[in-house]
Amino acid sequence: MTLLIVGIAASVAGVIQRVTGLAFVLVLIGPIVLVYGAVEGVTLAVLLAVIASAFALPSAWQHVDWPRTLWLLGAGLLAAPFGALMTRLLPEPALLFVIAAMAIVALLGPRLSSPAAALLRGRRGAIVAGAAAGFMHSSSGLSGPALAAYAVSDRWEQRRFAASAQVIFLGYGLVSVALRGLPASPTWEVVVLGACTAAGIVGGALLVRVVPVALARAVMLWCAWIGALVVLVRAILAVTA
């Protein structure tokens, strides 16, 4: 039953990823951490995010904005080892609190005030956002909101941002998998979740032309907030148990 719940969450996350360009881990993080724990859950989520980006990239390739993409990707890859190190240093309850805090802060990112948002514009903004996203991806898998905050602040056209994000997520994900290692879960479970993820991406490709982006973003935010709160509750229970 728990695998079914995570599989459904992976499929939904895949659909939203394909329609909006991001939010795969944001949608998945709550259920997968709840079932598999902080370390294994994030490790699985990072691997599944690689699968999601790999399946989404072919149809998005022609719209990639390479100058912005390379700055974001380069800064993130430099910061990723520090995020992976944090997962080895913190006990699970502390890591759960950090993941929940990252999710909440990331979700509040697009609501930045004007002076703060100015830091996320141009090349400097790409470096700042890329470093934050790379660190967050390797430690919690939550890099999308940092990139979204940059896209909003720098007025990045939605289609090009969504396409470019697949390259960035794929790069972050491959490095994060190398740093964190492969999941310890049974291979058949990983294969099932990977298949659910791929099915979600394929389903999203069929829906992308008929589902309004505003609706997809609203669903994404609701799922993400629920996921962040679930992780926070798990962290509190881990401390009080």
127-163 confidence digits (pLDDT tens): 988 998 888 888 877 777 778 778 877 888 877 888 8
**DSSP state, 208?**
T
Q: For the segment 200-218, what is each residue's pLDDT rounded down to a tens digit?
A: 998 888 887 787 767 766 7
Q: What is the mean pLDDT of the chain?
A: 83
For the chain, percent of residues with pLDDT exceeding 70: 91
pLDDT exceeds 90 at position 180: no
pLDDT of residue 91: 85
Torsion sign, CA atoms 25, 29, 35, 38 = positive
DSSP 91: -
What pLDDT does 229 receive? Answer: 79
- What pLDDT does 115 receive? 58
Q: Rounded CA gap, 90 and 67, in Å?
A: 36
Res. 112: pLDDT tops 60: no
Q: Report residue 186's pLDDT band, with 50, 70 and 90 as the boundaries.
A: very high
Positive or negative, the Cα torsion across 24, 30, 33, 35? negative
Q: What is the pLDDT of residue 153?
A: 78
Comparing C-alpha atoms, which of 27, 48, 26, 2 is closest to residue 142?
Answer: 26
In angstroms, the Cα distances linking 181 to 45, 123, 173 are 12, 32, 11
> How much is the pTM?
0.80
Residue with the bigger pLDDT between 65 and 108: it is 65
**56 class by beta-carbon count within 10 Å (0-12 exposed, 13-18 middle, 19+ buried):** buried
Look up tokens 């962290």; give the residue. Answer: 235
Q: Point out the least confidently predicted range of 63-72, 104-113, 128-137, 202-211.
A: 104-113
Task: Write out pLDDT tens, residues 46-60.
Answer: 899 999 999 988 888
pLDDT of residue 116: 56
DSSP SS3 for 157: coil
Nearest to 156 by CA among 76, 74, 65: 65
